[in-house]
Each structure stands twice: as C-alpha cells, then as structure tokens.
A and B are shown apart, each in its own frame.
Chain A
Amino acid sequence: MQLLYLLIEIVVKCVVVFAGLMIVVAYLTWLERKVLGHIQIRYGPNRCGPFGLLQPFSDAVKAFFKEDLVPGDSDKTIFVLAPMISIIAAISMFAVIPFGNQFTIPGTDWVVKLRLADVDIGLLYIFGIASLGEFGIVLGGWASGNKYGLTGSLRAAAQMISYEVALGLSVVGVIILSQSLRLTEIVNLQAGGFWNWNIWYQPAAFVFFIICGLAEINRTPFDMPEAEAELACGFNIEYSSMKFALFFMAEYAHMVTMGAVAVTLFMGGWQPIIPQLSFIPGIVWFCGKLFIFLFFFIWQRGTFPRLRYDQIMKFGWKVLFELTLLNILITALIVSLRG
C-alpha cells in the first residue's frame, strides 16, 4: 500500500510540475512580448482576450495548423529528433529544483516534499542535462542542410562549450560555502532571513552566473546562434510548425530553469525574506523570486544590443574564465583561513 501511495505521489507531482512549467512557459512568451512592447513604446499583443491573455493559445493553434516542412537536403531522422532533444532536456532539468519545503496532507501523516527528485548530485545533474540539451540546437542546424543553419549550430556549439566552463566554475564558490551539491541543503543553509542568502557572500559569482546563464540559454546579448540580422534565424531556419514551436518552448523552459537555479543558489530558494513572514507558503516565495529573474531576463533583452561573435568568445575565455577562477581562489582562501 505504501508503495502505491508513493507511486501516486510521484506521478501527481510529475504531472503538476510539468503542467505548471508549461503554463509558465506559455505565459512567459506573452509576458515577454508585452514587456518588450512597452519598452519599445508599443502595446504588445492585445487582440486575443483581455490584455491579449489568450495569445499563447492562439499561437499554439497557429503552430499546429501550419505546414510541417522537412527540407529535401536534410538528414530527416535527426531533423525530427533535434527539437525533441531540446524540449526533453529543458523540461527534465526542472526535476531537481526544490520549489518548496514540504507539507503534510491534512488528515493523514503523509508528508509531501515539494521537489521531484532530491538527489545528491542535484547541481551536476542540471549541468549534465543542459549540456545534453545543446545537442538539440547543434544537430537541428546541422541536419537542416542549410548553410545558415550550419553556421548557427557551429556558433552554438562553440559558444555553449565556452560558457559552460565559466558557468560551472561560477557556482563552485556556492558549493564551497554550502559544502554540498544537494539543492535542498544549499537552500536550507540560506534560511533565516535575506541577510543569509548566498548573493551577499558570493556577489561576483552571482553576476558571472547570470551572464553565463544568459549565454547558455541564448538570450539576447548572446543570441549568436540565431542572430536574425546575419544568419536569418540560424539553427531553426528550416523549422516550421510544431517543430519550431518545440524549439521555442525549449528556450523558454530553459530560461525558467536557469532562473530557478539562480533563485535556489543565490536567493534562498523557498526561504522567506525575513523569518517573521514564514506563514506565507514557500512556493509563493519561490515563484515571486523566480518572477523577478524572468522579468530581468526580458528587461535586459529589450535593453542590450547583440554582441559580435568574436567579442563573445573573447569575453568568455579571456575575462569570465579568469574571473570565475579568481572567485573560487578567493572564496577557498577565506573559507580555509576562517577554518
């Protein structure tokens, strides 16, 4: 019986997290277009429903009914497989994010922990799945049999390898402080008010993490793989209909996960701002903090121009790499001096 309950709990949690993530992704596209619109002194989508709130659904319907083209020159199996790799990786990364503490189901003594998998390698899992997700973009561009697509995927491969290094190094400081890769332990160590959050102990790592995270999810200052002006959309140039929509959803799901990791590592996860406010459920705090990050990701897209490709690579290897290493050195030195 216990086993059956456990199975039900796992299935319910998976379904709820998946549905929640999809809804967030759908409305993130709406939010992005709305915010970008107002930044550019336009209205953004406002025709479908009040404030254009039904826009994501009309987009989905449009994507479904478009013609699904597979170019003749393409490698057909990989062409179909690539968007799937992207979306599966982007969604399964969310499995280790702790989005709340735990609660007891009223009337029973069954404790539900608000995370899908509390594994010992949580942080490494995120990096591993993220590096697998890159195959989606790289293979998608290559399989299209298109020069722009190939250029886009070459850029994606080079950029992601470079920034993955700095991204991995930037979180080592946090790992040193919390002495664990388990995300729940990292969050629990930041309990007891906002002055305990890692962002105050690792401010430089926080900035590096955000920069590398933006490069990792191909957001605007670093959206080289799909630079419209030079590559005419790069890796997804030959994709249409639902396959393009899958790439699109994967990008936004990856963005949500990146924001969630930033919240978990630096902003105390589900912990309240001050201990007196702990009567508000942790999931509300988590979503609120996540919203700040998502808004920032959209805001900076409307603010910064796109960098040049060689500037990105130079910045990644000659500035970020050294600075993140320096951050690890200083953190380790201080920690070992304090004993």
Chain B
Amino acid sequence: MAENVATIFQWLIFLGMAFISVLASFLVITRKNPIHSALFLVLTFLCVAGLYILLYSQFIAIIQVVVYAGAIVMLIVFVIMLLDLEVELKAKLKFVYSKVIGGFLAILFLFGIFYAVVAKSPTGKVGSYTPEKVTANVKAVGEVLFTQYLLPFQVIGILLSAAIIGAVILTKKRT
C-alpha cells in the first residue's frame, strides 16, 4: 500500500515537473523582457533539479541549483540590469541571421536528442549502483570522479582556470 502511494506520488511529481519545465522553457524564448526570460530559465532549472531528485541524484540536483539556477542566472540578471535594454527593445532590432543560425542549431540539437533516445534503450540492465547506494551519493560521485574520470576532471579544471585568467587579462587591457 505504501509503495503504491509512493509510486503515485512519484508520477504526479514527475508529470508536474515535466509539464512546468516544458512550459517555462517555452516562456523563456517568448517573453519580451529579458529579466522575465531569465526568471523562467530559473524555473526550468529548478524543475530539472526536481527530476534529478526523482532519479535519486541529489548531488546533481543541488549542483544544478547552486551553479545554474543560482550563480549563472544571477550573472545573467546582473548583466541585463547593467545594460540598458529599453532602447534596444524599442528599436526592435531584427535578428535575421541569428534566427537562422539559432534555428539550425536547435534542429541539430533536436536530432541529437532523438538519436540519443532512440539509439540507447532506456531499459538497460541493472548495474551495481542501486537507489539505496546512489541516494547517499556524494561519496559515490567523488569516488568515480577522482578515480575513473580523473583526467577529464583535471582537464576541465585547467580549462576553467584558463578561462578565468583570460577574462581577467581581457579586463586589464586598456587601449
């Protein structure tokens, strides 16, 4: 009985999160005001974080919230506030090229997603990571990250520090 209730709840949460995230991501690209778009982006990220929690991946969920919903959108909002977008919105700039390029990339990405869904069957065999093991998963993530994926991890670290140093040098340049 308890298991049935849990399953129904999981389905309800999944449907709610999925619906809201699709709706919010649609609103991101249709809102005129960029701040509103950014806020709907936050909503999308939060819903995706909820989906991660349903998949027993608390760590990824909270990293999604801290890094994307928190830090990155905060930076986006900061930049939008610094720039005065009122003038540009009134001038109604026409983004013809960017629409074409963006549409092309979006379709490419859509095909990528379709391929990923179709090519790999979602019902794989059961591995060594059970829900019980994964729920207490900060340690599991750390272990995998620092043994199996150590090299990619360090490469990403070097890449990010290079980007940070590059950004600092760009701001120092006064011409």
**Chain A residues packing against B (C-beta within 8 Å):** 2-3, 75, 78, 119-121, 124-125, 127-129, 131-132, 134-135, 138-139, 142, 150, 153-154, 157-158, 160-161, 164, 180-181
Q: How far is the CA of A154 from the CA of B81 in the complex (A)?
A: 7
Q: List 9 A-B contacts (CB under 8 A).
A: A3-B5, A120-B59, A121-B61, A129-B65, A131-B66, A132-B42, A135-B77, A154-B78, A158-B78
CB–CB A120/B137 < 8 A:
yes
B88 to chain A, nearest CB (A): 17
Q: Please give, as numbers and ranges, the residues of chain B lying within 8 Å of A134 by CB-CB distance.
A: 70, 74
Candidates B1, B35, B58, B78; contact of A78 at CB < 8 Å: B35
Q: How far is the CA of A97 from the CA of B126 in the complex (A)?
A: 35
Give the dominant DSSP class at A's interface: helix
Q: Please give, as numbers and ranges, the residues of chain B lying within 8 Å of A142 by CB-CB distance.
A: 35, 77, 81
Candidates A124, A154, A180; contact of B82 at CB < 8 Å: A154
CB–CB A135/B42 < 8 A:
yes
Given A135-B42, A135-B74 in contact, is the A153-B81 Cβ separation under 8 Å?
A: yes
Q: Mark B135-169, 1 if CB is under 8 A from A, else 0.
A: 11111000000000000000000000000000000
* Additional A-B contacts beyond A121-B58, A160-B74 (6; CB < 8 A): A75-B33, A119-B58, A121-B59, A128-B66, A135-B74, A161-B78
Q: Please give, as numbers and ranges, the residues of chain B lying within 8 Å of A78 by CB-CB distance.
A: 35-36, 39
Candidates A132, A138, A139, A161; contact of B65 at CB < 8 Å: A132
Q: How far is the CA of A142 from the CA of B39 in the complex (A)?
A: 13
Candidates B2, B61, B77; contact of A138 at CB < 8 Å: B77
Q: How far is the CA of A271 from the CA of B69 in the complex (A)?
A: 35
A147 to chain B, nearest CB (A): 12
Q: How far is the CA of A12 from the CA of B105 in the complex (A)?
A: 51
A300 to chain B, nearest CB (A): 27
Q: Please give, as numbers and ranges, the residues of chain A lying within 8 Å of B81 by CB-CB distance.
A: 138, 142, 150, 153-154, 157
B55 within 8 A of A: no
Candidates B42, B63, B74, B139; contact of A161 at CB < 8 Å: B74
**Chain B residues packing against A (C-beta within 8 Å):** 1-2, 5, 33, 35-36, 39, 42, 58-59, 61-63, 65-66, 69-71, 74-75, 77-78, 81-82, 135-139
- Which of A119, A128, A129, A157 is the most central at the interface, judged by chain B CB atoms within 10 Å of its CB? A128
B16 to chain A, nearest CB (A): 18
Residue of B nearest to A143 (CB): B35
Give the dominant DSSP class at B's interface: helix
A99 to chain B, nearest CB (A): 21
Q: How far is the CA of A331 from the CA of B63 in the complex (A)?
A: 24
CB–CB A120/B58 < 8 A:
yes
Q: Please give, as numbers and ranges, the residues of chain B lying within 8 Å of A154 by CB-CB distance.
A: 78, 81-82
Q: Please give, as numbers and ranges, the residues of chain B lying within 8 Å of A164 by CB-CB distance.
A: 70-71
Q: How far is the CA of A157 from the CA of B81 in the complex (A)?
A: 10
Q: How far is the CA of A150 from the CA of B82 in the complex (A)?
A: 9
CB–CB A124/B69 < 8 A:
no
Q: How far is the CA of A161 from the CA of B72 in the complex (A)?
A: 10
CB–CB B136/A120 < 8 A:
yes
Residue of A nearest to B135 (CB): A120
B87 to chain A, nearest CB (A): 16
Candidates A3, A124, A153, A180; contact of B66 at CB < 8 Å: A124
Q: Please give, as numbers and ranges, the residues of chain B lying within 8 Å of A158 by CB-CB distance.
A: 78
CB–CB B75/A161 < 8 A:
yes
- Which of B74, B78, B82 is the most central at the interface, judged by chain A CB atoms within 10 Å of its CB? B74
A162 to chain B, nearest CB (A): 11
Residue of A nearest to B35 (CB): A142
Q: How far is the CA of A47 from the CA of B1 in the complex (A)?
A: 58
CB–CB B82/A121 < 8 A:
no
Q: How far is the CA of A78 from the CA of B33 in the complex (A)?
A: 12
CB–CB B35/A161 < 8 A:
no
Q: Please give, as numbers and ranges, the residues of chain B lying within 8 Å of A138 by CB-CB distance.
A: 74, 77-78, 81
CB–CB B71/A128 < 8 A:
no
Q: Please give, as numbers and ranges, the residues of chain A lying within 8 Å of B61 by CB-CB distance.
A: 121
CB–CB B2/A3 < 8 A:
yes
Q: How far is the CA of A150 from the CA of B80 in the complex (A)?
A: 12
CB–CB A131/B70 < 8 A:
yes
Q: How far is the CA of A119 from the CA of B77 in the complex (A)?
A: 30
Q: Please give, as numbers and ranges, the residues of chain B lying within 8 Å of A124 by CB-CB distance.
A: 59, 62-63, 66, 138
Q: How far is the CA of A225 from the CA of B128 in the complex (A)?
A: 50
Q: Please give, as numbers and ranges, the residues of chain A lying within 8 Å of B35 by CB-CB distance.
A: 75, 78, 139, 142
B147 to chain A, nearest CB (A): 16
Q: How far is the CA of A157 from the CA of B74 in the complex (A)?
A: 7
Candidates B36, B58, B78, B135; contact of A157 at CB < 8 Å: B78
